[in-house]
Amino acid sequence: MNGQNALAIISKETLTPAALSMAVREAGIVTVRQSIESKFPSINKIVEKLGYKETAALIVMQIVRMETLLNLTKQLPPESLAEIASTVIDVCIESGINVNAADIDIVFRRAMKGQYGRFYGSIGMQDIVGWFNNYISEKAGEYVQIRMSESQEYNTHKPRANEFGRTYDIQRHKEAFKDYVENLKK
């Protein structure tokens, strides 16, 4: 999926968590590394294209969808939903990590599977922001691993061309000196 197609899925007309989840699943994105390698638009790009309110609406809809699917007894009031969504967007943007649309879906799917702990009838801002902070830390660690493995490929010491030349010159001088010494003995 290219970046333009991924951004088209997240337009004002199709701004739904179900569409996002379906697009992420169709792309086969379930891990942090796959998200990094995906072409899904970043939160910054979504805010730029759709606006802050629409981006917040996507997060609000994910939270409401999760509350419904998990059948939580105490649901968040609209004011809280808006504040949580705004905080999540700010955390994602301020992290400096390229948090994208696939990451949003991954975080909420993990939460629904209980990977961030059990729910006891409700969720709050600390829970949701904590999930994103944990995920962002994990994604940052994955970026570090990727960069380290890339640098390992380039940091293996291979003699440079001038080192080959220098080695060849030294060997040639040793052989010439050896010939010179042998000629002196004759």
CA distance 73 to 76: 10
Tell me how far apart the alpha carbons of residues 46 and 58 are, in angstroms, rounded to a whole number.
10
CA distance 154 to 181: 43
E strands, the chain, are none
Answer whether residue 13 shows pLDDT above 60. Answer: no
How far apart are alpha carbons 70 and 64 in whole angstroms? 10
Mean pLDDT of 71-78: 90
What's this model's pTM, rounded to 2 decimal places?
0.73
Q: What is the pLDDT of residue 163?
A: 58
What number is the average pLDDT over the span 102-127?
A: 91
Band (176; pLDDT cuts 50, 70, 90): confident
Question: If you average pLDDT over every residue of the chain, what do you get?
Answer: 83
The answer to whether the beta carbons of residues 10 and 20 sit under 8 Å apart is: yes
